[in-house]
Copies of this chain bind each other. A is one copy, B any other.
């Protein structure tokens, strides 16, 4: 097993401050393909990806969520447009995680933005009213004073930047 692949999964973390370096079309394709190949219930793939690079639109999108200001400085955003359904958010999370880890492998950071004002986001992007638009993902190269890619920092240093509950508190054996 490739340890750098596993490290990418362990070290991928939210990045909210980005440089002005654009993301190449090739790298964007890699990110989108990673989302596309995520599994979903009955393989219905209940998602569309709206790519937003236009700065004015990114700024407007940032107004649609209470903690979404990181969208302003992103090189681009991918808005997840989904069909409503019991299992859809779960599957959307799988697609998002694939995109975020694939980006991280390229040295590109990302952060989820919850779009609390979903109607506004829908209107901004021209999305039909029967579809959901409550999740966007910022992508961009991390600013230098933030932890960079897994190649740039010792693994321990990256891991220390974000806390997680210890496994002993999360894991239960056989039953609760």
User: Are A90's CB and B101's CB within 8 A?
Assistant: no
User: Are B12's CB and A114's CB within 8 A?
Assistant: no
Chain A: residues with Cβ within 8 Å of the partner, total of 71
Smallest Cβ distance from A37 to chain B, in angstroms? 5
Within residues 1 to 45 of chain A, which ones have a CB less than 8 A from any CB in chain B?
1-2, 4-6, 8-14, 29-30, 32-34, 36-39, 41, 43, 45
Question: If A93-B97, A96-B90 touch, does A9 touch B37 (CB 8 Å cutoff)?
Answer: yes
> CA–CA, A33 to B167, complex, Å?
7
> Does A105 belong to the interface (CB within 8 Å)?
yes
Interface string of A136-168 (1 = CB under 8 A from B): 000000000000000000000000001111010
> Does A75 belong to the interface (CB within 8 Å)?
no
> CA–CA, A43 to B16, complex, Å?
14
Smallest Cβ distance from A59 to chain B, in angstroms? 13
> CA–CA, A41 to B13, complex, Å?
12
Q: Which residue of B lies closest to A47 (CB)?
A: B170
